[in-house]
Structure 1
Amino acid sequence: MVPSTAARLGTENAGSRSPVGKLGYLLLYVVLIVVAAFQLFPLVWLLLFSLKNNQEVFDLPPLSLPMNPRWENYEKVWSAGNISVYFLNSVWITIAATVLTIILGSLVTFAITRMKWKGSSLVLGLFMVAMMIPVHSTLIPLFSLFNRVGLTDHPLSLVLSYAAFNLPITMMILLGFYYSLPREVEEAAVMDGCSVHRVFFRIVLPMTGSVLATTAIINMIYNWNEFIFVNTFISSDTFKTLTVGVQNFIGQYTTDWGAIGATLMISILPILLMFLFLSDRIVEGIAAGSVKG
């Protein structure tokens, strides 16, 4: 069987690589392995931390194995610590806010980039200016607003806040990709009798799948890890999320550090697994939206 041209060229390039080039690649891989080890260090430390009791946390070195791994810390926080409720709240609030942000961001970006109307540049500028507003400066006005409309201690206050603050960055990622979409496809659809709504939902939205995956992951990471809005707007345990639920193990006189470590490990795993499985889509979406056609 005759090898392909690409395979033969790759083999020739690998064989003709100089010793200096091979040494450079070896050093590059060594540096990448060292960087990866530094990246994994906090996760390993947190895992070992979550399997210790208070005495072992303070007496043993950070990376030392616990004398008796306390896997019951995970069982305790999941059942007695009410973490199961906080985990489910984090899941559905994160998903709801992400879906709302992506739908609104896609609609606004489509209207600004694919439709001609007065004031589109002004609207885009207002959304971009919103990125410069500090989150903490809005806490008191938002709390006063939600209190007047009866949304304090209600998960809808979190969903609306997350969507509002994530819209600018979502639109900024979508803009480059929408500008690069060929208009000929939309014009052909209109000639065939498609309405604006059908053009958006049937043609444009499916074409933006890769960049939507990128924005979804970025939104989910922010929503999952958010603390200040939950701590300000939510007071009952029924609607608290994982980021606030970890405070249950901090007492006035004692703190259960092993339980805190187990809670943090549970909160990290979903985002970590999602990033590992969808990291290629993140790179693909950013690369696709970075070039304007």
Structure 2
Amino acid sequence: MRKGAEGSGSGMAGKIGYALLYIVLIAVAVLQLFPLVWLLFFSLKNNQEVFDLPPLSLPMNPRWENYGKVWSAGNIDVYFVNSVWITIAATALTVIIASLVTFAITRMKWKGSSFVLGLFMVAMMIPVHSTLIPLFSMFNKANLIDNPISLILTYVAFNMPITIMILLGFYYALPKEVEEASVIDGCSVNRMFFRIVLPMTSSVLATTAIINIIYNWNEFIFVNTFISSDEFKTLTVGVQNFIGQYTTDWGAIGATLMISILPILLAFLFLSDRIVEGIAAGSVKG
């Protein structure tokens, strides 16, 4: 009887513990969603409602036309397309180059591999703001100011260290027997990498790609420094079009911000499992 009572008591305690855990997680989720709900209501208001109504109050007359206005009159369609192709190009280059570097460091024997890896890891400690003037001067001499190439090169350079760091653990864990068998079959190094190694790392590549996409899509400092024409601006700086010297269209700003975060939010919701899978796979060594 005592054992039965103890078992039922521990089972009840476990259920209470799980219930409390779920309550805490739900509260945290609601807290995390609070800024998104506030931004949605904010984007549907005019200037008077923004300042007169409480933050989470519904707009008296939802102004969905704010979204149409920013998409057409505010050049947000151009900025959106620029954000998409610059983000995709920079992410693809970063993932491919980082994979090649990681393969060379972890799977090939050559002098200086540890030193090269150390250089990439040291690069993670360089503050972004300290590079603005040197990069501007370099791109100015190369006639790349107000050119999307300057953004792509910068994104690749700054995302390489973190991408390599994520890939390292996964590459160290790859079985060498597969590579040895491919060499015996007469496979070249290039073919072995693209046909065998790269497909085996698809899960961790998805993780690094998503992390790069989030950074590249939300980046502001380099776009604001290197790009001046509307033709090449991205969404992050496009919001400034609605900030004037004497008046500011706050509803349009909210609509622009809502449009800018939706693609990343949807990508994260649908691909979050791949992030966890890739990080977990890359954390196992040997």
SS in 1 for 2:198: helix
Matched residues in 1 for 2:97 and 2:21: separation? 43
Could you tell me how far 1:21 is from its partner in structure 2? 1.2
AA partner of residue 154 (structure 1): N
Query: Residue deviations 1:5-57, cap 9 Å, x none?
Result: xxxxxxxxx99962111111111111111000001000000000000000000
Alignment partner, residue 191 of structure 2: 198
Matched residues in 2 for 1:16 and 1:111: separation? 57
Alignment partner, residue 38 of structure 1: 31
Instruction: State whether structure 2 residue 252 is matched by structure 1 residue 265.
Output: no
Matched residues in 1 for 2:19 and 2:228: separation? 54
Matched residues in 2 for 1:173 and 1:209: separation? 13
Alignment partner, residue 85 of structure 2: 92
What pairs up with 1:69-88 in 2 under 5 angstroms?
69-88=62-81
Matched residues in 1 for 2:108 and 2:12: separation? 57
SS in 2 for 1:18: helix
Q: TM-score, normalised to structure 1's length?
A: 0.94
Query: Residue deviations 1:185-229, cap 9 Å, x none?
Result: 000000000000011000000000000000000000000000000
What pairs up with 1:227-238 in 2 under 5 angstroms?
227-238=220-231
Matched residues in 2 for 1:265 and 1:38: separation? 18
Matched residues in 1 for 2:157 and 2:8: separation? 55
What pairs up with 1:180-199 in 2 under 5 angstroms?
180-199=173-192
AA partner of residue 217 (structure 2): W
Matched residues in 1 for 2:8 and 2:170: separation? 40
Query: Residue deviations 1:108-151, cap 9 Å, x none?
Result: 00000000000000000001100011111111111111111111
AA partner of residue 31 (structure 1): V
SS in 1 for 2:124: helix
Identity of aligned residues (%): 84
Match among 269, 281, 285 for residue 288 of structure 1 = 281
Matched residues in 1 for 2:96 and 2:38: separation? 39
Query: Residue deviations 1:37-88, cap 9 Å, x none?
Result: 0010000000000000000000000000000000000000000000000000
Instruction: State whether structure 2 residue 230 is matched by structure 1 residue 242.
Output: no
Matched residues in 1 for 2:208 and 2:40: separation? 29
AA partner of residue 226 (structure 2): F
Alignment partner, residue 172 of structure 2: 179
AA partner of residue 175 (structure 1): L
Matched residues in 2 for 1:135 and 1:127: separation? 15
Matched residues in 1 for 2:134 and 2:19: separation? 56
Alignment partner, residue 144 of structure 1: 137
The number of aligned residues is: 280
Structure 2, unpaired ranges of 5+: 1-6
Alignment partner, residue 132 of structure 1: 125
AA partner of residue 116 (structure 1): K
Match among 77, 96, 111 for residue 104 of structure 2 = 111
Alignment partner, residue 3 of structure 2: none
AA partner of residue 196 (structure 2): I
- RMSD between superposed Cα atoms in Å: 1.1
Matched residues in 2 for 1:109 and 1:18: separation? 48
Query: Residue deviations 1:145-166, cap 9 Å, x none?
Result: 1111111000000000000000
Instruction: State whether structure 2 residue 50 is matched by structure 1 residue 57.
Output: yes
Q: TM-score, normalised to structure 2's length?
A: 0.97
Matched residues in 2 for 1:226 and 1:259: separation? 20
Q: 1:281 to 1:16 in 2, by over 3 A?
A: farther
